[in-house]
Amino acid sequence: MVRSRITGTGSCLPDKILTNLDLERIIDTSDEWITSRTGIKERRIAEEGQFTSTFAAEASRRALEMAGIKAEELDLIILGTVTPDFPFPATACIVQHEIGAVNAAAFDLSAACSGFIYGLSIADKYIRTGDAKKVLVIGAEVLSRVVDWTDRNTCILFGDGSGAAVLEVTEGDSGILSTHIFSNGSFWNTLYQPGCGNRNPATNEQTLLDRLCYIRMEGNDVFKHAVRAMEEAACTALTANGMTPADVSLLIPHQANRRIIDATAKRLGIAADDARLFVNLHNYGNTSSASIPISIDEANRTGRMKSGDNVLLAAFGGGFTYGSALIRW
């Protein structure tokens, strides 16, 4: 069967680290409060002159190097982000130029924290239908620039960075077995950025006075829906492939909040301390669409995934969007 296979992974994070102790000096919070509620200890923050495209391009170069292919061999570039360099053009086009992928079509997609899985699903379909042979899928964010640093409920959560994966056509047993994407728009205003679109443009003085260009979140509602949605997406992938949670070698969930991660894993019969559960949230915080590709690259480079392993991805994000992918490594 013709399917797509990840042949190279890469990630890139800012050097600047913002710890919980650093946040204690900025807002009314504490390391204990943040850690107990989120599991986050530190996050990476972009510095002046660094943009979403900066990290996306470098993660892409590292993924291409691992795959052993040149950028000009790419047929397509898909970039998941909610923090593009500009409203337009697509940041994917900037990355295309930066890495020299002169033969690739390029576009952005907005699915929040599910962005990479959405992109993976599209890339997989392009390869399975024969319309592409080599596709680059990226998740990249600079969330620190849309975070309200006076809101302790949101600013503690988010970090910056990028991850990327090269997909190529394969006829072997390994590769992406299936992808599954969903959305429920009835909850769109539970996690969103109310300003800087055309409803509340940045040119409107009131938008700025009301701090509408920053992330807004109803935390309790997000928690309830996230756990339920990621469980549904994960079970859908397993059922589609005739598997159970016992067949999963590694579960890589979106790194949003440790409580969400543990609750989702528990529903799948995987304990919080099970080696099959991948967690790096404590180091990077919630990097939205970059979360899963950063995790895949880290797991790949540290030997957490072996040939033949069944790797289950699950994500949930604003929209609400959610999705899963099951991969035989």
**How many angstroms separate the CA atoms of 216 and 151, rounded?**
9
CA 249 → CA 20, 27, 274, 323, distances in Å? Answer: 32, 40, 11, 19
Closest to 147 measured CA to CA, from 23, 319, 14? 23
For the chain, the maximum distance between any two Cα atoms, rounded to a whole number of angstroms, is 57
Q: Catalytic site residue 184?
A: no
**How many angstroms separate the CA atoms of 229 and 189, rounded?**
17
Locate 247 and state its tokens.
């067949």
Locate 62 and state its tokens.
């590292």
Which one is catalytic: 12, 20, 93, 113?
Answer: 113
**How many angstroms separate the CA atoms of 76 and 73, rounded?**
9
CA 329 → CA 22, 209, 232, distances in Å? Answer: 39, 50, 22
Which one is catalytic: 254, 257, 300, 310?
Answer: 254
Helix, strand, coil fractions of the chain, as percent rounded to 5:
40, 25, 35
Locate 98 and state its tokens.
């930066």
Q: Catalytic site residue 155?
A: no
Adjacent-strand bridge partners of 317: 321
Adjacent-strand bridge partners of 25: none
Q: Catalytic site residue 310?
A: no
Which one is catalytic: 20, 286, 300, 310?
Answer: 286
Q: Are 47 and 78 in contact (CB under 8 A)?
A: no
Known catalytic residues?
113, 254, 286
